[in-house]
Amino acid sequence: MNVGFASYLFAFIAYTALTGLLVTSWRGRTLGRLLILASGFSSVWALFSALSSIAIITWPAFLQLMEFTRDGFWCLFLLKSVQTNSSESLSHRFKLTPARMYYIFLLVAGIVTIVSPLVATLTENRSWFSRDITLGIWVLFNIIALLLLEQLFRNSNHDQRWAIKHLCIGIGCIFAFDFFMFADALLFKQLNPALWNARGIINGLMVPLIAISVARNPKWSLDIYVSRNVVFQSVTLIGAGIYLLVMASAGYYIQFYGGTWGSTLQVAFISGTGALLLIILFSGTIRAKIRVLLSKHFFNYKYDYREEWLRFTQTLADSDDIVPIRAIRALSALVNSTGGALWVRNDNHCYAFNSCLNMPEPTVTLTHEDDPLSCFLEKTRWLIDLDEFQRNPDLYEGFKSPSWLADIDKAWLVVPLLFKAEVLGFIIILRSPSQKTINWEDRDLLKMAGQQIASHLAQHVSEKALTQARQFEAFNRLSAYIVHDLKNILAQQSLIVSNAEKHKHKPEFVNDVIDTVKNSVDRMTRLMEQMKSGMRGHKVRQINLFSLLTETQAAHASRKPIPNLLDTSESVFVYADKEQLNTVFGHIIQNAQDATPNEGHVTIRLSSESGNAVIKIEDSGCGMDQAFIQHRLFQPFDSTKGLTGMGIGVFESREYIRTLGGDIRVKSIPGEGSTFIITLPIAPGTE
pLDDT score at 134: 75
Type of residue numbered 429: I
Determine the Cα–Cα distance for residues 582 and 590; give it in Å rounded to an integer. 12
Q: Which of 415, 216, 239, 260 is nearest to 327 (CA)?
A: 415
Q: Could you report the per-residue pLDDT of 458-487, keeping only the tens digit for each?
A: 888 888 778 777 766 766 666 666 666 676
Q: Label residue 675 by pLDDT band (50, 70, 90).
A: very high
pLDDT score at 126: 47
Determine the Cα–Cα distance for residues 620 and 418; give it in Å rounded to an integer. 66
Determine the Cα–Cα distance for residues 488 and 104; give it in Å rounded to an integer. 101
Burial (CB < 10 A; 0-12, 13-18, 19+), residue 144, is: buried
Residues 6+ apart with CB under 8 A from 416: 377, 381, 382, 383, 423, 425, 426, 447, 450
Mean pLDDT of the chain: 78
How large is the average pLDDT for residues 119-142?
63
Percentage of the chain beyond pLDDT 70 is 71
Q: Could you report the per-residue pLDDT of 347-357, keeping only the tens digit for each?
A: 777 888 889 99
Determine the Cα–Cα distance for residues 322 and 328; give it in Å rounded to an integer. 10
Determine the Cα–Cα distance for residues 683 and 139; give it in Å rounded to an integer. 94
pLDDT score at 311: 84
Q: Which of 123, 1, 8 is nearest to 57 (CA)?
A: 8
Longest dimension (CA), the chain: 154
Q: Could you report the per-residue pLDDT of 372-414, keeping only the tens digit for each?
A: 888 888 888 899 999 999 988 888 888 888 888 888 888 999 9
The H helix count followed by the E strand count for the chain is: 23, 13
Side by side, the strands of the sheet bearing 422-430 are 365-366, 351-357, 340-345, 422-430, 411-419, 384-385
pLDDT at position 581 over 80: yes
Nearest 5°: CA angle at 672, between 670 and 678? Answer: 90
DSSP string for residues in 328-391: HHHHHHTTT---EEEEEE-TTS-EEEEEEESSPPP--EE-TTT-HHHHHHHHH---EEHHHHHH
CB 339 within 8 A of CB 355: no
Residues 6+ apart with CB under 8 A from 619: 592, 593, 595, 596, 600, 601, 602, 603, 673, 674, 675
Determine the Cα–Cα distance for residues 494 and 636; give it in Å rounded to an integer. 25
DSSP-assigned beta bridge partners for residue 11: none
SS3 144: helix
418: left (phi over 0), alpha (psi -120 to 50) or beta: beta
Determine the Cα–Cα distance for residues 647 and 654; give it in Å rounded to an integer. 13
pLDDT at position 296 over 60: no
